[in-house]
Structure 1
Amino acid sequence: MTVTNAMPQNRTLTRAVLVTVTFVTVAAGVFVAAVWTSPGQTVDQLFYNVSRDLAPIGDIPEFASYNVLASPLVWAAVALGVVALVGCRRFVGTWSLRHAAISAGSLLVFMPVMAYGAGFLRDHVLPRPQLHEWITQTSNSAPSGHAAAAAAFVVVLVRAAHPILRLPIAVVGGTWAAIADFGLVADGWHRPSDVIISTLLVVGIGALLPDPWRGHESRSPVWVAWAAGVLIIASATAFAMSYYSAPAQLITAVVIATVIAAALMIADLVTRGGRLESAR
């Protein structure tokens, strides 16, 4: 590795660290505002109450249900997808088995660490003060382990894919994650802030994951990334509102989808690296 080749990598790593620090800081800010302040608890709980009090007008398709997040088959499928996508690196340019193994291993470990780590934070680290007597759900529910798993699935699949495939995978995965996260709120499992915090934490920390396609530039222009974000918001909101029609539910769905779309697109844009002369 020459000094010239190392410079773009150093800049990419610096940007990735900045993304992680920023996203974790914003997630902490959301937690403080929504959990530790009286107005925050009021707004968060009101949207939660409205969203869960209205039943869907039809049966939610199983693929869009948050229940799939607990399925071992889904976890296995995502893991196999990661391995297959990283394995494609062998057919494009230089190939380092060691780097591929480290990348794939990191991506596979990332999923359970994020899901169970969110649960550990929720149950053993982060307290929730009772600031309103009318809020009967006094236990802490942030961050959401299910939402963390959904975000982790999308992050690892996007990271494992060739740069030219990352935005399409982000659109499909981000839309699915937004729908599943809204379902967690609509069915009364989590407050809106819970899934937002999980998304910010997972996408932010995911920016530090090793890139198996290091040395391959992203070919999509910046405006395509923002268009992909808009598509995530529009698709997830349209799907959610075909089953839930209350204004508060619409706002909740839009906010969740917007956070997921913005997080994925910002992480993609900021952590893009230039083409290296050599990936050895």
Structure 2
Amino acid sequence: MVPQASPASAWSALETIADHPLRALGSPAPAARKRKAAAPDEHAADIDDEVAIERGLARRDPLTVRPRVSSRVLCAVFGVLMIAISFGAWWIAVRTEDGQSYEDMVFSGFHDSLPSWASALVAPFISRNITSIAGHPLNFTVIVSALLIVVAAVVMLVRKRWWLVGQSAVFAALCFASTYLKGVLPRPFIINTVSQPANSAPSGHTMLAVVAGVLLLFAVPRGCRAWMALVGAAYALVIGLSVIAGAWHRPVDVVMSLLLAGGFALLAMAFTRTSGMDAPGKRASSPSVQIVGTVMITAGVLCCCYAAYIMWQIEPGLSLSASWASVGAHVSTFAMIAGVSSLVFGMLLAMRQITASPLSRAGLVGAPPAPPKKKR
């Protein structure tokens, strides 16, 4: 005999079918199968979590994921200004009679005018090519710069600064592309010169040295930035002096390379965000950056002003190619390259700090201590 369902159980079955119409087609799937079908892809979940965390941090404090707007605007403005000044310097040196006469004075006797300590520094870099790879000559400048770039790349990868790696790649590509200006920019014939009549600006070796120094400055954490700025400025100065002492380049070639590379670096820093910045919990103001950056910028401006003053003093003798003007030309070239190197890396140091380590009002390393409340 078939057992008949009680009225209560029949009524509950009807309620279940009414609430879940698909139950009439069969029993529900096991819980384990449902969980497996509903589980999203783990990789997609990780990406969604990172995006959600970034959006949450941006809503809570935008400075955790991007620098201040004012900092990015400053980087863009100073970057464009440096690039414009580089082309202005090239125009004065190449398109005027005094400019060509000045550079020819420096080109013909700069090596002999260097002090002994400077000659010792540039000597390894003006030696002949050590070897060649695929038809490209390699000298000490290329080898040292390549090693510094590799060190900077390794530091970025170890620190997992993925966005910074992309920034650095774009910056290096811009610098490499700018070296092709050497075959594009004209050099009109105005006076007879000892140096080659073809255009030689910008200097590729100086550009490579600046790229190596800038990438090191980008890669290191906050505590090492001041040291890397000093190293980068000193290395760029030595390479800049060596290419002139070796009679490979004119002064404006070096100045143009320094300013172009500095401008491209500032433009790259204008797009800093997320992993291109310091970790939020490790951000703080840096006394070393403040002191070293201020000294480098001030010293750079003073050296450039001193070089400009000497150029103004010897200007009457340039058109005559007077021998008394050659000493001033050599001294002003040394001061100008030293000043531009110091100014460029001082600016990069300051801008790197404010874009990589912005502090919110409450402070990302803890709120400042508040004074005790007065008891009434």
- TM-score surpassing 0.5? yes
Aligned length: 253
Contact 1:172 1:232 in 2 (8 A): no
Q: Is 2:170–2:268's contact at 8 Å kept on the other side of the alignment? A: no
1:86 aligns with: 156
Matched position secondary structure for 1:42: helix
Counterpart in 1 of 2:191?
132
Structure 2: how far apart are the matches of 1:139 and 1:202? 22
Matched residue, 1:16: 75
Structure-2 separation of matches of 1:163 and 1:185 = 34
1:68: which partner in 2? 140
Structure 2 gaps of 5+ residues are 1-57, 127-138, 302-326, 365-376
Structure 1 residues 203, 136: closer, same or farther in 2, change over 3 A? Answer: closer
Which residue in 2 is equivalent to 1:262?
343
1 CA distance for matches of 2:89 and 2:114? 27
Query: Of 185, 189, 209, which aligns to 1:150?
Result: 209
Name the larger-Rg structure: 2
1:4-47: CA deviations, max 9, x gaps?
A: 52584322211110111110011011011111111111112212
Aligned letter for 2:99?
Answer: G
Deviations 1:71-118 (A, max 9, x none): 2x741x2233223432464xxxxxxx5xx223124324533541x323
- 1:229 is displaced (CA, Å) by 5.5
- Distance of 1:14 and 1:3 partners within structure 2: 23
* Contact kept? 1:151, 1:202, Cα under 8 Å: yes
CA–CA distance in structure 1, aligned partners of residues 185 and 215 of structure 2: 26
Contact conserved, 1:82 with 1:108, CA < 8 A, in 2?
Answer: no
User: Cα deviation per residue 1:201-224 (whole Å; 9 max; x = unaligned)?
Assistant: 001110133552345354126343
Equivalent of 1:191, from 238, 250, 253?
Answer: 250
Aligned counterpart, 2:59: 2
Q: Structure 1 residues 8, 106: closer, same or farther in 2, change over 3 A?
A: closer
Query: Which deviates further from its counterpart, 192-201 or 50-59?
Result: 50-59
User: Per-residue deviation at 1:248?
Assistant: 4.6
Structure 1 residue 164 displacement after superposition: 2.5
The 1-side partners of 2:234 and 2:114 are apart by 21
Cα deviation digits, residues 126-155 of structure 1 (max 9, x gap): 111111024552100111111111111111
Which region of structure 1 is more displaced relative to structure 2, 153-162 or 203-212? Answer: 203-212
Letter in 2 for 1:102: W
Mapped to 2, the partners of 1:129 and 1:151 lie a distance apart of 28
Match of 1:93 in 2: none
Q: In the superposition, relative to structure 1, how do residues 79 and 47 fare at CA in structure 2: closer, same or farther (>3 Å)?
A: closer
Kept after mapping to 1: 8 A contact 2:290/2:350: yes
Aligned with 2:286 (options 216, 219, 230): 219
Structure 1 pair 209–134 and aligned structure 2 pair: CA distance change class (3 A): closer
- Residues 267, 138 of structure 1: alpha-carbon distance in 2 compared, 3 angstrom cutoff: same
Q: Within 2, Cα distance between the matches of 1:63 and 1:39?
A: 30
Rounded to whole Å, the distance in 1 between the matches of 2:152 and 2:193 is: 46
The CA deviation string for residues 198-249 of structure 1, in whole angstroms up to 9 with x for no partner, is 000001110133552345354126343233457899xxxxxxxxxxxx7654
Q: Aligned partner of 2:294: which letter?
A: W
TM-score, structure 1 normalization:
0.77
Q: Helix, strand or coil: the match of 2:349?
A: helix
Q: What RMSD, in angstroms, separates the aligned Cα atoms of the two structures?
A: 3.1
Change in Cα spacing, 1:62 to 1:261, as seen in structure 2 (3 Å) is: closer
Describe how 1:265-276 pairs up with structure 2 within 5 A.
Answer: 265-270=346-351, 272-273=354-355, 274-275=358-359
TM, length-normalised to structure 2:
0.59
- The 5 A counterparts of 1:31-180 are 31-52=90-111, 60=120, 65=125, 67-71=139-143, 74-75=145-146, 77-87=147-157, 89=159, 100-108=161-169, 110-111=171-172, 113-114=174-175, 116-123=176-183, 125-180=184-239
Contact 1:163–1:213 (CA under 8 A) maintained in structure 2: no
**CA gap 1:45/1:101 in 2 versus in 1, 3 angstroms:** same
Percent identity (aligned): 23
